[in-house]
Amino acid sequence: MKRHSFAFILTLLWLLGGCGTKQNQQENLVNMTRTQFDALLDSDKLILVDFYADWCGPCKKMTPYLEEIKTEMSDKVTLVRINTDDNPELAQQLSIEGLPTLLLFKNKSLVWQNVGYIPKEEVVKQLN
């Protein structure tokens, strides 16, 4: 059986929506390793990853509708939001060069990506 770090387990619990306050949940996604990121992709659901930064205007504009998608499509999609300022190594390893960047994974494979602002309707099209 694989042994995982406490921080990794907290990250998984956060993604499943069952651990800690919002502030603590955000702290759990600091310094995520590539191994931890790859483990998040192990799901029967689609995984929508949002790479963002707090200072990014388009990122802020997309946040409300991404939260709506997270709620409205929770049976089909898992939304993972990763702050690039808190995870610079991971962003570099995944070649994230612009913000916001959305990555959509299905069965651990990247099936779609977008760099820059995109309207909710266009994201939802990719998820259906």
Candidate list 59, 91, 96, 104, residue with the active-site label:
59
Per DSSP, 43 falls in state S
- Degrees (nearest 5) of the Cα angle 91, 74, 22? 60
Give the Cα separation of 60 and 108 in Å (integer).
27
- End-to-end CA gap in the chain: 35
- In the annotation, is 19 catalytic? no
The continuous run of DSSP H or E covering 9 comes out as helix 6-15
Tokens, residue 54 = 């707090």
Please identify every residue annotated as catalytic.
Answer: 56, 59
